[in-house]
Amino acid sequence: MAQWILRLDLRSPAFAGENPALYRTGLDMAAFVDDLGFDHCMLSEHHGADDGYLPSPLVYGAAVAARTTRLRLRISAIVLPLHDPLRIAEDAAVLDRIAEGRLELVLVAGFLPGEFAMFERSLADRGRLLEEGVALLRQAWSGAAFEYRGRTIRITPRPWQQGGPPLLLGGATPLAARRAARWGDGFVPGIAGLYEGYAAACRAEGKEAKPEPIFGPMGVFVSEDPEAAWRRIAPHALHENNCYARWYAESGTRGPYGHFDNADDLRATGIYQVLTPERCIELARYLGSRGQLFVHPLLAGLDPAIGWETLHPLKEKVLPRLAGL
């Protein structure tokens, strides 16, 4: 069966109004999908965003871990060059302990100039800092003392997972794919067409790449009346999509999101899909075991009631039909 992934970035633009319970609602939803058998909870990171995009996924991840028992936590992604890698090593080790080995990290070099300025980092150094940071995390999680910039360092506690959480590298360039083959435990491509190069680079490194995942829509919703549901979801989908598109344009970065002036044109791309239970079942079966379906019930300040209207049909009408596949 395709993997089911709960997306939480907790952004809430001004037009959505205040929702003081947003963070708690996200935890309630994580606990709900944990009981349903979802595979991952995906937590993302950005800084200084006008819509309050989650800046601290490791902190929030600890709360998710405490509310769940089987859901894997995929921090996707940490912009590692913005952080002190020793602090990330400690925080991730603690989170992996709380989650009892359910943590995996997707590490990226980053691309937004404003974020690098905020933390007084240089964009020109991001590739080097990412590679150095990955090496340091592995060394830190060995449990042994080591030398770092003239100091003797020991990171405690050791993570729950032997050697630490899996470190996947993400990116949207051939260089990022080659870097992932050399330094990572896997690759999360930001755009299509990079996985073949990653697999070739893995072979050159004497590694075997895992089968390429098949990505479904970045926001799946379930409703018996998709047209009515889309009208309520559309402003939030348009906000998220165009925010990413603006970031890519500002930084000259390629990505899966392009600007759209209206929600109908955006809907036609299939990035966001509102499906009947039957169509959702068909999509999951079509994607197969390598498929990944992203459920985004709090999309850009979406009324949580709409998110719950997706989660309950998944429990009652979709996942039972897929059991055993």
Q: Any idea where the domains of the chain sit in the sequence?
A: 3-165+213-322
pLDDT in tens, 190-220: 999 999 999 999 999 999 999 999 999 999 9
SS3 291: strand
pLDDT in tens, 107-133: 999 999 999 999 999 999 999 999 999
CA 277 to CA 317: how far, in whole Å? 6
* pTM tops 0.85, yes or no: yes
The answer to whether the bond into 157 is cis (omega within 30° of 0) is yes
* Band (1; pLDDT cuts 50, 70, 90): confident
- State mean pLDDT over 252-275: 95
DSSP character string of 3-66: EEEEEE-----GGG---TTHHHHHHHHHHHHHHHT--EEEE---SS-TT---S-HHHHHHHHHH
Tokens representing 257 are 């999101």
Mean of the per-residue pLDDT values of the chain: 96
What class does CATH assign to 3-165+213-322? alpha beta
Tokens representing 124 are 């020109």
The Cα angle at residue 145 between residues 141 and 151, in degrees rounded to 5: 115
CA trace torsion 44, 38, 29, 54 (10° rounding): 0
CA 184 to CA 166: how far, in whole Å? 8
Measured in whole angstroms, the distance separating CA 33 from the mean position of its chain's CA atoms is 16
Residue 325 has pLDDT above 70, yes or no: no
The Cα angle at residue 123 between residues 181 and 271, in degrees rounded to 5: 65
Tokens representing 240 are 């998220």
* Band (324; pLDDT cuts 50, 70, 90): low
- State mean pLDDT over 7-27: 97
SS3 289: helix
